[in-house]
A and B are shown apart, each in its own frame.
Chain A
């Protein structure tokens, strides 16, 4: 559905997109994950023909994308990062206006607008002006304006920024519902938990480059880091900590705040080895937690920095 090859976009000397390539299939929820400034929004704006680019190929629905490709534009829905609605129009009028740019016939538009209002949970606020809405409701209005015309392909650019947890869950549920109804979704975020929960495939971006692409499992398999072990140990002699660090399946280990934290390799049985060592040395311990590696670990191992740096 989306094919991007070797896209290069420069702002003067700054390379915003560096030979960026992307392929998205029908029915996917594709996540673009990366820290702020990594080039996610620039990539989307280039794909949508809003920005010029220096080099590369972009096609949507099998056709080259251009500002006058109205046929493709009709099938696309966009939820921009910044809320883009008329402050002087009510919730219902805003949705009707933007839906009207895609569906000119009023009769055909009416049920779509109603559906979008219900979908976004804005039925009680339909006559409210945007300034009367909370941040979460405003984001939901922004989404409703982008999806009311039932697009086949939806771009959601950081739709949950500055949103309370309750609204965030509601938005994520809505996105799943849109996908279930047949829409392909491109979702950008710097919140890795959202992307992990939501997306069937993920691309991790940094400095305008795609540094890894795949399912969550495929991405975590790319790195050496396996599960992350946390053991409640009020006191841990330094010599024992050193022995733990020297275990064959342990990559890193530290002790602080009464907890031993160890990053383990992807194979072997690190939990058993660590606990055996503690028991043999009479180190008392309490609760034990084990977490699988996250996308942040993937990002950390590939780039050497935290995803939210």
Chain B
């Protein structure tokens, strides 16, 4: 009986156009959309070289220290400056006004000066660079003037001593875009609800003629629903793996960890989605279209809360309405993937999986309560 129910249910699922569109095609379209919409965002997160200028005067030509330093920090491979040279101060000022450069250096009475037109991140970096240069230069000159300076003392000036230990919270590069893909995976997990809907409708005599026919057969009820749900889970996980493969192999989305824990998260999410769909179907005799609408609406609302449409909304909800955030299954799935990406430990990750398991159990118990009935008041 297992083979018959399991194999035919898989056939039913893969041939169902609604399932095909909502759980296979729609997520691929969303993933592709995210990829193209947010690829610029990823680039923006990387620190670019800062366009800066230098007024090449006689004084500058003779200041070997400054010249060498600027050449070093504008190295095309490792430098952070994109250095433009100007013959006059006016030419440099004109370039600054036009936005060609973010600031320019000039030497006035032996002292390097920085000119900027606004106060922004790049201007702050230029200022910090200049301050450090001036400070080190003065120190070197002071030591040399003393006459009996050891060379090692001068070299020490160029070594930055750090008295604090820098610990990274993340093992991966912070990324805004990856959160959208986490939320997308969470949404597809929630779409497992369609499979739960089908499984329960196909079993309940008061929900469909098919349910009535199956109820009249001598096949026992719980093995029948178990085999059915197992097949549904197989199809849904195949759909999840297909989406993951598309994200990883085609769109090159980096999940920052081995894929096994990501797949485990999807499995827990799929259990949750299916149990939610079963719950919605079992508790009400509303028409199938209404139940489909409920599953789609709740899935999208939860995905919105997990940050699929608006970046950072999940953090705002977690801050202002923490209970809602904890009860949002899509947010838990998304957060579990977030933990895998950013955290070294698995504590928070397992907490999320635990919450998902608890929700699944709660939905399943209520569903089982309704499914245990085999005789109906009316059909």
Contacts and interface: CB of A to CB of B under 8 A. Distances in A.
Interface string A64-86: 00011011011010101011111
A104 B4 contact: yes
Given A45-B379, A73-B217, 8 more contacts: A50-B212, A67-B215, A74-B218, A83-B209, A88-B13, A101-B1, A101-B224, A104-B1
Interface stretch (A92-100, A196-204, A237-245): A92-100
A78 B1 CA distance: 19
B65 interface: no
Contacts of A22: none
B16 A52 contact: no
Contacts of A24: none
For chain A, which range describes its interface: under 10, 10 to 19, 20 to 34, or 35 or more residues?
20 to 34
A141 to B, nearest CB: 12
Contacts of A93: 8, 11
B210 interface: yes
B375 A102 contact: no
B15 interface: yes
Contacts of B375: 49-52, 67
Contacts of B213: 78, 80, 84, 98, 145-146
Most chain A CB atoms below 10 A, which of B16, B208, B218, B375:
B218
Contacts of B16: 88
B5 interface: yes
15 contacts: A50-B205, A52-B377, A68-B374, A71-B218, A78-B216, A89-B12, A93-B8, A97-B8, A98-B217, A100-B4, A101-B1, A102-B218, A106-B3, A106-B4, A145-B213
A31 to B, nearest CB: 21
Nearest to B1: A104
B113 interface: no
Most chain A CB atoms below 10 A, which of B13, B213, B374, B379:
B213
A257 B197 CA distance: 59
Interface in B74-99: none
A262 interface: no
Nearest to A70: B218
B376 interface: yes
A25 to B, nearest CB: 22
Contacts of B3: 106
A155 B208 CA distance: 18
B167 interface: no
B217 A52 contact: no
A186 to B, nearest CB: 13
Contacts of A96: 4, 8
A106 B1 CA distance: 9
B69 interface: no
Nearest to B209: A84
Contact of A84 (B4, B12, B210, B378): B210
A120 interface: no
Nearest to B213: A84
A223 B15 CA distance: 56
B291 interface: no
A230 B368 CA distance: 64
A104 B216 CA distance: 16
B219 interface: yes
B252 interface: no
B15 A88 contact: yes
A106 B12 CA distance: 19
Interface of A: 11, 45, 48-52, 67-68, 70-71, 73-74, 76, 78, 80, 82-86, 88-89, 93, 96-98, 100-102, 104, 106, 145-146
B312 to A, nearest CB: 42
A48 B216 contact: yes
B74 to A, nearest CB: 65
B220 A70 contact: yes
A86 B8 contact: yes
Contacts of A101: 1, 4, 214, 217-219, 224
Contacts of B216: 48, 50, 73, 76, 78
B229 to A, nearest CB: 16
Nearest 10 CB-CB pairings of A with B: A100-B4, A84-B209, A67-B374, A101-B217, A88-B15, A73-B218, A82-B209, A84-B213, A70-B218, A74-B218
A84 B212 contact: yes
Contact of B11 (A48, A50, A70, A88): A88
Contacts of A86: 8, 12, 210
A51 B376 contact: yes
A167 to B, nearest CB: 19
Contacts of B219: 101-102
A107 B218 CA distance: 19
A73 B224 CA distance: 15
Contacts of B214: 101
Given A88-B12, A98-B217, A52 B209 contact: no
B218 A100 contact: no
Given A50-B376, A74-B218, A102-B217, A80 B212 contact: yes
Nearest to A72: B218
A94 B270 CA distance: 28
A101 B219 CA distance: 6
A85 B16 CA distance: 14
Nearest to A45: B379
